[in-house]
Structure 1
Amino acid sequence: MLDLGTIDRTVDRPPYRQIADILRQHIERGRLAPGEQLPSEAVMIEHYGVARMTVREAIKELRTEGLVVAQHGKGVFVRSAPPVRRLASDRFARRHRQEGKSAFLAEAEAAGHVPGVDQIRVTNEAASAEVAERLGLKPRERVIVRSRRYLADGRPVEVATSYIPESIAKGTPIAEVNTGPGGIYARIEEAGHELARFTEEVSARMPSPDERKALEIGSGSPVLTLVRTAFDTTGRAVEVCDTVKVATSFVLEYDVPAR
């Protein structure tokens, strides 16, 4: 039987964090195996002598860390699938687009997740100074802006906003909610801009309140930020994508040649 330990009410650390610490330790040490169900709310309420909200806050901590998943009507289980592995050297391979898959769809499926996307919003806006510079546009030149949220097994893992020059995207499915099989890059290539290379800038920080809400994470959970610029074979920048990722949900893998 799992030893749920005890919480210390004389210390400053809140009870819900202490409960999360105990459960996290059991998961990390294998006492709670992948796919195994956590003790029920009722069991933990009685054992720790706390309110239901305290137990739920503890579970929320573990969910934001990507350690557990909640199944409606069944309970909370240790996550069995690994984080999404983002392989930079493969994710933009043309074969994925030819198979009708976006980069995230291919990666999430490879990691054993059920991928999803929601909160899609498409607008036509004047480019900010930074976006215009990255795309080589004149100040305030128009761009199609596509924002969306990506999910793995129904759990938000990243939000992304793409900026595509209006001269490329206007009148194409890029300006529609549904871009069709293969996503934005498939449509850009169909518009005559064969993709040649990508540059990426990766950093880490704490999320903003809006990002915490969209990603359903706590204030103490860090995010990874990745700004990518896509170039065609003529050297023209054809897209800038600003992505915010839940840090615990991804492994970033890079294959860099020694030369």
Structure 2
Amino acid sequence: MLGLGTVDRSDGRPPYRQIAGLLREQIALGRLAPGEKLPSEAELIAHFGVARMTVRQAVQELRGEGLVVAEHGKGVFVRSAPPVRRLASDRFARRHREQGKSAFLAEAEASGHTASVDQIRVTNEPASAEIARRLRLSDDDSNVVVRYRRYLADGRPVEIATSYIPAAIAAGTGIAEVNTGPGGIYARIEDAGHRLAHFTEEISARMPTPDERRALEIGAGVPVMTLLRTAYDTNEVPVEFCDTVKVAHAYLLEYDVLAR
């Protein structure tokens, strides 16, 4: 079966880890190609001579790593979606907004994916001390419009994001609505008279929280990247702070940095 090899009973590793390793090797070598279905549970049980639970543990390990996905009633498949290429020097280009595209829509399409967004929630609430600090809000004017949403590429969740926009900027615009209109949040910020000038980003990596795992539909062993972004207008006024959690294996971050 695909030259999978056998379980070595003298190996100190548990059989399920050996099986996961053999399948992982086939995926890395391309013998199990993106989108290809893994051998069935029954086939793997017969080939390796192990219990059903052992096979399930092996497959679960691969699912936790993001290498395979299970489709109900169909089987387990090698993950087919290539990474979304996030080109930082281009994703916020004004031409995308002028074409009615949000940053995620532009980068997903450029990577060959169909982009969508769901689970949108919009609230108006007092800013926390940290959000107020980042947006330089005064105690007398510290309300923010909070926009939570989940982004999908080809129907699979790849990112969740929460944006905080000063209520004074968002008031009377599509930012306070579920549907912001063409071009997304940044187009509405510019419509409100705040021409965007630059962004700062802080990136780190960690394991997801239980809520994040559920929203992103990933296993406990799949890491995420966190990206904290602040947008500034031409007067150096912070106009949005965004806290983003990305499925690590779903993204490739690309930066074009000038040598000054």
TM-score in terms of structure 2 length:
0.89
2:99 matched residue in structure 1: 99
Query: Structure 1 35/210 Cα, relative in aligned 2: closer, same or farther at 3 Å?
Result: closer
Amino acid at match of 1:143: V
Tell me the distance in 1 between the aligned counterparts of 2:60 and 2:98: 39
Question: Secondary structure, in 3 states, of the residue corresponding to 2:211?
Answer: helix
Cα deviation per residue 1:67-113 (whole Å; 9 max; x = unaligned)? 33455654443334420111110000011111211111111122222
Amino acid at match of 1:43: E
Deviates more, 1:233-242 or 1:3-12: 3-12
Query: Structure 1 170/50 Cα, relative in aligned 2: closer, same or farther at 3 Å?
Result: farther
Number of residues paired by the alignment?
Answer: 259
The unaligned stretches of length 5 or more in structure 2 are: none
* Residue pair 1:114, 1:152 contacting (<8 A) in 2 also: yes
1:142 matched residue in structure 2: 143
Amino acid at match of 2:22: I
Superposition deviation, residue 194 in structure 1: 0.9
Q: Is structure 2 residue 180 aligned with structure 1 residue 179?
A: yes
* Residue pair 2:231, 2:241 contacting (<8 A) in 1 also: yes
Q: Using the aligned pairs only, state the percent identity.
A: 75
1:77 matched residue in structure 2: 77
Amino acid at match of 1:5: G
Question: Secondary structure, in 3 states, of the residue corresponding to 2:239?
Answer: strand
* Residue pair 2:64, 2:221 contacting (<8 A) in 1 also: no
Amino acid at match of 1:34: P
* Residue pair 2:83, 2:252 contacting (<8 A) in 1 also: yes
Superposition deviation, residue 222 in structure 1: 1.4
Amino acid at match of 2:207: M
Superposition deviation, residue 216 in structure 1: 1.8
Question: Secondary structure, in 3 states, of the residue corresponding to 1:107?
Answer: helix
Amino acid at match of 1:185: Y
Deviates more, 1:31-40 or 1:83-92: 31-40
Tell me the distance in 1 between the aligned counterparts of 2:182 and 2:55: 42
2:131 matched residue in structure 1: 131
Superposition deviation, residue 157 in structure 1: 1.1
Query: Structure 1 185/10 Cα, relative in aligned 2: closer, same or farther at 3 Å?
Result: farther
Question: Secondary structure, in 3 states, of the residue corresponding to 1:214?
Answer: helix
Tell me the distance in 2 between the aligned counterparts of 1:17 and 1:188: 51
Deviates more, 1:179-188 or 1:58-67: 58-67
Q: Is structure 2 residue 213 aligned with structure 1 residue 203?
A: no
Superposition deviation, residue 241 in structure 1: 0.2
Query: Structure 1 23/169 Cα, relative in aligned 2: closer, same or farther at 3 Å?
Result: same
Superposition deviation, residue 34 in structure 1: 2.9
1:222 matched residue in structure 2: 223
* Residue pair 2:65, 2:221 contacting (<8 A) in 1 also: no
The unaligned stretches of length 5 or more in structure 1 are: none
Query: Structure 1 209/5 Cα, relative in aligned 2: closer, same or farther at 3 Å?
Result: same
Cα deviation per residue 1:231-258 (whole Å; 9 max; x = unaligned)? 1111110000000111111111111100
Query: Structure 1 138/39 Cα, relative in aligned 2: closer, same or farther at 3 Å?
Result: same
* Residue pair 1:81, 1:112 contacting (<8 A) in 2 also: no
1:188 matched residue in structure 2: 189
Tell me the distance in 2 between the aligned counterparts of 1:251 and 1:191: 32
What value does the CA root-mean-square deviation take over the aligned residues? 2.3
Tell me the distance in 2 between the aligned counterparts of 1:51 and 1:179: 52
Amino acid at match of 2:175: I
Amino acid at match of 1:29: L
* Residue pair 1:151, 1:157 contacting (<8 A) in 2 also: yes
Q: Is structure 2 residue 247 aligned with structure 1 residue 246?
A: yes
Deviates more, 1:71-80 or 1:24-33: 71-80
Superposition deviation, residue 11 in structure 1: 6.8
Q: How does 1:26-37 map to 2 (within 5 A)?
A: 26-37=26-37
Tell me the distance in 1 between the aligned counterparts of 2:10 and 2:177: 57
TM-score in terms of structure 1 length:
0.89
Tell me the distance in 2 between the aligned counterparts of 1:26 and 1:88: 33
2:6 matched residue in structure 1: 6
